[in-house]
Amino acid sequence: MSFWIYRAAASKLIASTIGAPAREIAQWASHGICRTAGLLAFQANHSSTSIFAPEGTPARSIFGLSMFVLGICAAIFLIVSGLLLFTLIRFRHRDGDSEREPAQIYGSNQVELSWTVIPVLIIVVLFLATARVIFITEQARKPAAALDVVVIGHQYWWEYRYPKLGIVTANELHVPVSDAAHPTPTYLTMSSADTDHSFWVPELAGKMDVIPNKVNTMWIDPDKPGLYLGQCAQYCGTQHAKMLIRVYADSPADFAAWVAGQQHPAIQSPGASEGMAVFQRNACVNCHTISGTAAQGTFGPDLSHLASRATIASGSVPLTQDNLHAFIDDPAHFKPGALMPAMHLSDHDLDAVTQYLMTLR
Amino acid sequence: MVTHTPVTSIANSSAAARKHGGAFDVLQEWITTVDHKKIGLMYIGYALIFLVIAGIEALLMRVQLAVPNNTFVSPQTFNRLFTMHGTTMVFFVGMPILFGFGNYLIPLMIGARDMAFPRLNAFSFWISALGGVLLYFSYFAGSGLYGAGTAPDVGWFAYAPLTARVFSPGHSTDYWTLSVLLSGIGSIGTALNIVATTLCMRCPGMKLSRMPLLVWLYFVTSCIAFIAISPLTAAQIMLLIDRYLGGHFFDTQAGGSAVLWMHFFWIFGHPEVYILVLPAFAFANEIIPVFSRKAIFGYPAMVAATIGIGFISMGVWAHHMFTVGLGPNANAFFTLATMVIAVPTGIKIFNWLATLWGGNIHFTTPMIFAIGFLFQFLIAGLTGVMLSASPFDWQLGNSYFVVAHFHYVLVGAILFMIFSAFYYWYPKMTGHMMSEKLGKWHFWLFVIGFHLTFDFMHIPGILGMPRRVYTYEADRGWAIWNMIVSSGAIFQTIATLIFVYNLVWSYFKGPEAGADPWDAWTLEWSTSSPPPSYNFAKTPTVESRRPLWDLKHPEDPDANYE
């Protein structure tokens, strides 16, 4: 309800109050800034985490608002700093100035009034434009085709649960691409198992904090298939820096294939039975789950389909046999402060368990 | 500027008064003093020591972040560095240095003999000082019986439940809590003292409407400090109850609320920004008119804007919590409240501009720092407006853009005005001028370093780099920007060394200042430099906001226009 009021008021006010010339100026200003932003977005092509390269609805509406606010602020900066610079040059002390003091002026109510009222008007406009984006993002109607994912933040990794699909995975979130005609956004219901975290994938949406004892929601709808990067944006402890986020936006067919793969119980390949035995008789099972086996721990990431992922250590290390070997031997090698202890397995056991985990596709 | 003034008549007797006995006598004199000037100087000296320490911490962090995947310091060390840097800069540099100047200047500017409660004043200083020492003592004792010492690593706003015993064993968090608590007690004591002094100790003729703006701003700052520091103190006590008496206020594992801590902290934390920035405005209100050779433009508007900022600052805290999930209505409300604060702040900038307009602007060292402040504060204010648009903040919040924004306020505005205040009042405090030549070197090197560091720091934020990371991925395009940011730190370090050298050199070699080196207009310049312990041989009487202007221009006194 209130959303419609804000929205109507915002568009009416922006259309009528500031009028056509002001709109032109705003467009001109935001055009200039868009070009600067374009440069940053170019930078973003290899960084892929720029807030100025939106690839989904929430990020795009934030981007539009950002350009508007940035344009107004840039205009204010140019005017005020220009005036300031002019004043400093025009009224500087020169050698040979008379020693008499300049005329003393104590103030003027009219002038004070003008520089109170004009900022107030600017703020009304800024506020209405902002409120519109707040409400279209936070009160968007959830389509029936939306996918639900539960996101649980852990020190220092992400757990993703798909309750309706019966899937549990970690660190690499797969979602379907959403197209405008048939939107299939993904709704994230988030909480934390320990300290505060924040889920931030700049190209898709703004961040939302992931807080213990509090349930937050947000939604994303990537419109192009691909990998979107992000990372935890709330200091959560020693390894906050390596709590990375990878969101894979899959085409409908790819997503269906991924779901089917994840819904299978973990592969029990006969060639890796020794490694499986090592896993089962060590402390691994206290923290990790491998579906269809006795390993049902929930403190660490679910490993049922570990080998289907591209990375380990919450997105910070590519998954290769060597890296996995080194990680199991001593996680602190990659992530000092990670909560998984060094396992001190014999070389033989280490090789076997690494081989076993690499079969879990 | 010429140093002749009709009011140098009062004693140059302080030189004789400065003759001391042995080192022990000097020490005893300073430790037991209740003189507002000595306490003010101790606050300033104490803050300068911590400024250097926290500056070194910043430097170490910039070395670590200069290149991706650096291993200069460990993640644990890095997390301690940013916690100590933030806590130190806010509680043991910003607050004490500003209270130090306030302590020194307020009684002199209102023609008083001392603060209203000299003993409370000494108590407040020493309790704050103990707080800072306690914080750093954690390096030795932070782990208690668990092993070697360690500093707190919970961040300067110490979000729950990271501070719970399960996530933060040992005592490092307790040292953080107790030191902040003690600093809070000291701050409340000083705030109380400033309010009482302002209300009760003004010399004859100095109505509230004739008080120098500096005193007005300190008065409002102190009122904010009263209200804002109490919730912080309450939260620290609740945290101690959680940690030692089995309480569950913030213990989320037992049903406590992490969001409750955020509310408590930011109800303090945002007004705290104004506690720090209003004194910087206060300096600007004195320094800009003197070097423009004009009365401040719109004195009543300046007072009203300050009081307005004071009130509004109490209602904006949740703009630090736009990403916490408070819902669209709360986000819209705090967006509006935060944007509104731009109005009184804008009024201030425009009044300073109008003060410069038509003036005869002298580019002395204090003035060029004040001009740097004007430009930088304008930018800081505008990036603040961007962050107030909550959806924009959903992207920028907790990114390096925010770090750049608030350093623009804390360094670009506040620290620049503190430097300005040093160059302006140092002659009053010591009787010697600071070197203008070194001052200009200090200014230009610092400006270059500041802009290299903090202009370019906005960009990695826009490119998605969160704050408080000890290292970052090489393929994100952040490396070049971080290298530039770190290189600026070198310039700032050299500039700061020049400043410290200038402080020491000028004390021994600086030219004599005389009572009124800047040809200024407020009462502190009517007594000798440094002022005698009794401040004024005869209690002054004032008839306008600029008593020394009236004395120097008896044919055209201010009183005719106010």
Mean pLDDT score, B343-360: 96
Q: How far apart are CA B20 and CA A199, in angstroms?
A: 62
* CB of B358 less than 8 A from some CB of A: yes
Ranges of beta strands (E only) in chain A are 147-154, 157-162, 167-170, 172-176, 186-192, 197-199, 208-210, 216-220, 226-231, 244-250, 311-312, 317-318
* A76 occurs within a structural domain: no
Q: Structural domain tally of chain B?
A: 1
What per-residue confidence (pLDDT) applies to A10? 47
Structure-token pair, residue B389: 């648009």
* A186 occurs within a structural domain: yes
Q: How far apart are CA B500 and CA B45, in angstroms?
A: 11
Q: Look at residue A297 and tell me whether its pLDDT is greater than 80.
A: yes
Q: How far apart are CA A43 and CA A53, in angstroms?
A: 10
* CB of B371 less than 8 A from some CB of A: yes
Query: What CATH number does the domain containing A308 carry?
Result: 2.60.40.420
- Last-in-domain residue among A263, A284, A305: A263
In terms of Cα–Cα distance, which of B273, B87, B237, B266 is closest to B176? B87
Distance of CA B413 to the CA centre of its chain: 10
Which 3 state secondary structure label does DSSP give B130? Answer: helix
Give the minimum alpha-carbon distance from B321 to chain A in angstroms, rounded to a whole number.
9
> Is the Cβ pair A76, B353 closer than 8 Å?
no
pLDDT digits (tens, 9 = 90+) for B57-66: 999 999 999 9
Mean pLDDT score, A350-360: 96
Structure-token pair, residue A37: 């932003």
Q: How far apart are CA A315 and CA A88, in angstroms?
A: 53
- Last-in-domain residue among A231, A263, A295: A263
B283, B417 Cβ separation under 8 angstroms? yes
Q: A121 pLDDT band (50/70/90 cuts)? A: very high
Mean pLDDT score, B182-188: 96
Q: Structural domain tally of chain A?
A: 3
Q: A14 pLDDT band (50/70/90 cuts)? A: very low
* CB of B475 less than 8 A from some CB of A: yes
pLDDT digits (tens, 9 = 90+) for B276-323: 999 999 999 999 999 999 999 999 999 999 999 999 999 999 999 999
Q: What residues have CB less than 8 Å from B7, skipping those under 6 apart?
A: B515, B516, B525, B526, B548, B551
**Is there a single domain that holds both residue A249 and residue A336?**
no
* CB of A127 less than 8 A from some CB of B: yes
B261, B217 Cβ separation under 8 angstroms? no
What per-residue confidence (pLDDT) applies to A2? 44
Residues 500..529 of B with a Cβ closer than 8 Å to A: which? none
Pairing label, strands A167-170, A157-162: antiparallel
* CB of A241 less than 8 A from some CB of B: yes
* A315 occurs within a structural domain: yes
Q: B146 pLDDT band (50/70/90 cuts)? A: low
Q: How far apart are CA A187 and CA A88, in angstroms?
A: 54
Average per-residue pLDDT in chain A? 89
* B138 occurs within a structural domain: no
Pairing label, strands A317-318, A186-192: unpaired
Distance of CA B257 to the CA centre of its chain: 31
Structure-token pair, residue B211: 């008080």
**Is there a single domain that holds both residue A190 and residue A280?**
no
DSSP codes, A274-341? HHHHHHHHSTHHHH-B-TTSS-B--SS---TTGGGSSEETTTTEE--HHHHHHHHH-GGGTSTT-SSP
* B28 occurs within a structural domain: no
> Is the Cβ pair B386, A61 closer than 8 Å?
no
* B484 occurs within a structural domain: yes
Q: What residues have CB less than 8 Å from B395, skipping those under 6 apart?
A: A51, A59, A62, A66, A202, A206, A207
What per-residue confidence (pLDDT) applies to B143? 67
* A7 occurs within a structural domain: yes
In terms of Cα–Cα distance, which of B121, B243, B236 is closest to B171? B243
* CB environment B231-269: b (16+ within 10 A), e (fewer): bbbebbebbbebbeeebebbbbeeebbbbebbbbbbbbb
Q: Look at residue B150 and tell me whether its pLDDT is greater than 70.
A: yes
CA dihedral B22, B24, B25, B28 (to 10 degrees): 160
ipTM for the predicted complex: 0.91
* CB of B73 less than 8 A from some CB of A: no
Q: How far apart are CA B100 and CA B467, in angstroms?
A: 31
What per-residue confidence (pLDDT) applies to A180? 86
What per-residue confidence (pLDDT) applies to B3? 46
For A97, the closest chain B residue by CA position comes to: B360
In terms of Cα–Cα distance, which of B132, B105, B141 is closest to B51? B132
Nearest CB to B162 within list A61, A106, A237: A237
* A180 occurs within a structural domain: yes
* A122 occurs within a structural domain: no
**Is there a single domain that holds both residue A174 and residue A281?**
no
Q: B224 pLDDT band (50/70/90 cuts)? A: very high
> Is the Cβ pair B332, A211 closer than 8 Å?
no
**Is there a single domain that holds both residue A251 and residue A279?**
no
> Is the Cβ pair A44, B371 closer than 8 Å?
no
Q: Which residue has the higher pLDDT, A231 or B146?
A: A231
> Is the Cβ pair B76, A337 closer than 8 Å?
yes
DSSP state of B176: H
Q: What residues have CB less than 8 Å from B475, skipping those under 6 apart?
A: A46, A47
Pairing label, strands A147-154, A186-192: parallel
Q: Which domain holds residue A213?
A: 148-263
**Is there a single domain that holds both residue A285 and residue A323?**
yes
* CB of B541 less than 8 A from some CB of A: no
* CB of B557 less than 8 A from some CB of A: no
What per-residue confidence (pLDDT) applies to A271? 85
pLDDT digits (tens, 9 = 90+) for B455-471: 999 999 999 999 999 99
Q: Which alpha helices (H) appear in B431-478, and where do they start and end?
A: 436-456, 458-462
Nearest CB to A209 within list B323, B331, B382: B323
Q: Look at residue A34 and tell me whether its pLDDT is greater than 70.
A: no
What per-residue confidence (pLDDT) applies to B479? 95
**Is there a single domain that holds both residue A259 and residue A154?**
yes
**Is there a single domain that holds both residue A291 and residue A340?**
yes
Compute the half-sphere exposure of residue A271: CA atoms within 13 Å on the CB side of its CA.
6
* CB of B468 less than 8 A from some CB of A: yes
Count other Cβ atoms within 10 Å, centred on residue B166: 12
Count other Cβ atoms within 10 Å, centred on residue B371: 23
Q: B21 pLDDT band (50/70/90 cuts)? A: low
* CB environment A143-161: b (16+ within 10 A), e (fewer): eeebbebbbbbbbbbbbbb
Low-confidence winner among A16-25, A30-39, A132-141, B144-153 (lowest mean pLDDT): A16-25
Q: Look at residue A17 and tell me whether its pLDDT is greater than 80.
A: no
* CB of B169 less than 8 A from some CB of A: no
In terms of Cα–Cα distance, which of A185, A244, A247, A192 is closest to A216? A192
Contacts of A69 in chain B (CB under 8 A): 385-386, 389, 392
A252, B90 Cβ separation under 8 angstroms? no
Contacts of B331 in chain A (CB under 8 A): 134, 138
Identify from B77, B385, B395 which residue to disrupt to test chain A contact, counting A C-beta atoms within 10 A and taking the largest count.
Answer: B395
- Angle, helix B95-109 to helix B36-65, in steps of 10 degrees: 150
Q: Which domain holds residue B423?
A: 360-503
Tell me the C-alpha to C-alpha distance, in Å, between residue B123 and each of B100, B231, B326.
14, 22, 41
Q: How many CB pairs under 8 A join A and B?
A: 278
Nearest CB to B301 within list A43, A107, A138: A107
**Is there a single domain that holds both residue A253 and residue A292?**
no
pLDDT digits (tens, 9 = 90+) for B519-529: 999 999 999 99
Structure-token pair, residue B49: 């020591």
pLDDT digits (tens, 9 = 90+) for B368-402: 999 999 999 999 999 999 999 999 999 999 999 99
Residues 320..339 of A with a Cβ closer than 8 Å to B: which? 336-337
Count other Cβ atoms within 10 Å, centred on residue A291: 18
B355, B288 Cβ separation under 8 angstroms? yes
Nearest CB to B259 within list A211, A237, A244: A211
* B15 occurs within a structural domain: no
Compute the half-sphere exposure of residue A11: CA atoms within 13 Å on the CB side of its CA.
6
Mean pLDDT score, B263-273: 96
**Is there a single domain that holds both residue A259 and residue A153?**
yes
What per-residue confidence (pLDDT) applies to B560? 86
DSSP codes, A121-141? HHHHHHHHHHHHHHHHHHTPP
Query: By 3-state DSSP, what share of chain B in percent is helix, strand and coil, each rounded to 5?
Result: 70, 0, 30
